[in-house]
Amino acid sequence: MALHHILILAIIQGITEFLPISSSGHLVLTGKVLGWTDQGLAIDVAVHVGTLLSVMLYFWRDVGALANGALKLTTGRKGPERKLFLNVVIGTIPIVIVGFLLKDEISHYLRNVELIAWTTIGFGILLLLADKLGMTAWRLEHISWRVSLAIGLAQVLALLPGTSRSGITMTAGRMLGIERSESARFSLLLSIPTIAAAGLLVGIEIHQAGNVALEKDALIAAAIAFVAGYISIWAMMAWLKRASFTVFVLYRLLLGGILLGWIYL
């Protein structure tokens, strides 16, 4: 893949991965609009890995708490870190199972512009309703394993391009009464094992295929996405501390409307 293609895709990934506007949808659309051959899941996952490093850096205290929680679980000790670790694990299990079982179907049948347009609009409206009607009662330390499981089940819908993994988990969090910034925080913590699992799976396939050029492309894409992702996380968390999700919903509606006009007119 040409260097400027990698640059554009990685920047788009970094900006959109953690915003509730669908990074996978934007990556597919970029190739369609600019007339490129679909970059495929391998490059998609490579730039996801770059953003994985950015979220781990931004939430380094939470990452440390997760590691501490895993240690406490193995030694039989209790504490808030153990609860956080278990909630992240429980919230991750559904998408890992469904994603593994439906990997081929997702890559071959669900990456089209019409689906992206409708999911962009539909799940944008759902986010608006959840944000306006949901209570603002709970912080992350208050949620139970049942709430984590419900958010994890909602995350499965992100396998549909245009849904947005971060968007659907934030939507579920707001429906369940979690504060805006806290729902975003939990969504981003859930992204860590999810992205890591996807990156490991495709990375093994790339290595077995012996595609060195693709490995170099992936490293460049990951580095660029890392920088863009960190800036995106910082900006979103600052925004949600003082404002709502409405601006993201409006963007989704505008983008979806443009896509429908392009498809049908």
The residues spanned by each domain of the chain are 3-264
- Please state whether the predicted TM-score (pTM) of the whole model is above 0.75: yes
pLDDT of residue 155: 94
Looking at residue 138, the DSSP 8-state letter turns out to be: B
pLDDT of residue 48: 77
Per-residue pLDDT of the chain (265 residues; tens, 9 = 90+): 677 878 888 898 889 889 999 876 676 677 667 776 655 556 767 787 888 999 999 999 999 999 999 999 998 888 899 999 999 999 999 998 998 787 666 656 566 788 888 999 999 999 999 999 988 888 998 899 999 999 999 999 998 888 999 999 999 999 999 999 999 999 999 999 988 877 777 667 666 666 555 667 778 888 999 999 999 999 999 999 999 999 999 999 998 888 888 888 7
In terms of C-beta density within 10 A (0-12 exposed, 13-18 middle, 19 or more buried), how is residue 37 classed?
A: exposed
d(CA 203, CA 201) in angstroms, rounded, equals: 5
CA-nearest of 177, 175, 164 to 236 is 164
- Residue 230 sits at the vertex; the CA angle it makes with 27 and 55, to the nearest 5 degrees, is 90
pLDDT of residue 37: 61
Buried b (16+ CB within 10 A) or exposed e, 236-262: bbebbeeeebeebbeebeebbeebbee
Q: Give, in order, the Cα–Cα distances in Å from 82 to each of 25, 56, 66, 87, 153.
A: 34, 18, 7, 9, 21
